[in-house]
Amino acid sequence: MSYQSEFQRSIDDPSGFWLEQAERIAWYKKPTEGHSIDENGADCWFADGELNTCYLALDYHVENGRGEQTALIYDSPVVGMQRGTSPVIKTYSYRELRDEVAKVAGMLAGLGVEKGDRVVIYMPMIPEAVMAMLACARLGAIHSVVFGGFASHELAVRIDDAKPKVILSASCGIEVSRVIAYKPLLDAAMDEASHKPEHCVIFQRPEQECELTEGRDLEWASHVDNAEPADCVPVKATDPLYVLYTSGTTGKPKGVVRDNGGHAVALRYSMDLVYDVQPGDVYWAASDVGWVVGHSYIVYAPLITGCTTVLYEGKPVNTPDAGAFWRVMDQHKVKALFTAPTAFRAMKKVDPKADLLKNYDISSLKYLFMAGERLDPPTYEWMSEVTGVPVYDHWWQTETGWAICCNPVGLEAQPIKAGSATLPTPGYNVKILGEDGGELGANEQGYVTVKRPLPPSCLPTVWGDPERFQESYMRSFPGYYLTGDGGYIDGDGYVFVMGRVDDVINVAGHRLSTGEMEEVVGAHAAVAECAVIGVPDELKGEVPIGLAVLKDGQTISEAELHSELNQSMRATIGPIASYNQTYIVKRLPKTRSGKILRRTLRQIAKGESYALPSTIDDPAALEEIDRLMKSR
The confidence score (pLDDT) of residue 628 equals: 85
467 and 513 part of one domain: no
CATH code: domain of residue 464: 3.40.50.12780
Round to whole Å and give the CA distance between 207 and 78.
11
**Backbone torsions φ then ψ of 434, nearest 5 degrees:** -90, 180
33 and 89 part of one domain: yes
- Peptide bond preceding 206: is omega within 30 degrees of 0, i.e. cis? no
The confidence score (pLDDT) of residue 250 equals: 40
Contact 235, 51 (CB under 8 A): yes
- Which one of 456, 487, 518 terminates a domain? 487
The confidence score (pLDDT) of residue 418 equals: 87
The confidence score (pLDDT) of residue 509 equals: 56
DSSP letter, residue 591: B
Contact 595, 374 (CB under 8 A): no
Domain residues for the domain of 547 are: 508-630
67 and 15 part of one domain: yes
The confidence score (pLDDT) of residue 251 equals: 47
Q: How many domains does the chain have?
A: 2
- Which one of 424, 452, 487 terminates a domain? 487
In a domain, 323, yes or no: no
In a domain, 368, yes or no: no
478 and 614 part of one domain: no
The confidence score (pLDDT) of residue 469 equals: 94
477 and 531 part of one domain: no
In a domain, 483, yes or no: yes
CATH code: domain of residue 564: 3.30.300.30
400 and 288 part of one domain: yes
Residue type, 74: Y
Contact 589, 600 (CB under 8 A): yes
DSSP letter, residue 416: -
Torsion of the alpha carbons at 119, 338, 333 and 380, rounded to the nearest 10: -160
464 and 542 part of one domain: no
In a domain, 363, yes or no: no
In a domain, 99, yes or no: yes
- Which one of 421, 455, 487 terminates a domain? 487
Nearest Cα to 529, choosing from 343, 338, 316? 343
Contact 310, 282 (CB under 8 A): yes
> What H or E segment, with its residue span, contains residue 524?
none
300 and 416 part of one domain: yes
**Residues whose CB falls within 8 Å of the CB of residue 578, separated by 6 or more in sequence, listed in order:** 507, 508, 537, 540, 543, 544
In a domain, 351, yes or no: no
In a domain, 107, yes or no: yes
SS3 content of the chain, % helix, strand, coil (to 5): 35, 25, 40
> What H or E segment, with its residue span, contains residue 36?
strand 35-37
410 and 522 part of one domain: no
DSSP structure string for 300-311: IHHHHHT-EEEE
Residue numbers of the chain with a pLDDT score lower than 70: 247-252, 502-504, 508-511, 593, 614-615
453 and 599 part of one domain: no
Strand order in the sheet with 395-396: 395-396, 403-406, 423-424
In a domain, 201, yes or no: yes
Round to whole Å and give the CA distance between 36 and 46.
8
561 and 433 part of one domain: no
pTM here is: 0.85
Which stretches of 24-93 are DSSP H helices? 53-54, 60-63, 77-83
**Residues whose CB falls within 8 Å of the CB of residue 338, separated by 6 or more in sequence, listed in order:** 275, 283, 284, 285, 286, 287, 293, 297, 369, 370, 371
Contact 260, 25 (CB under 8 A): no
522 and 467 part of one domain: no
Contact 127, 90 (CB under 8 A): yes
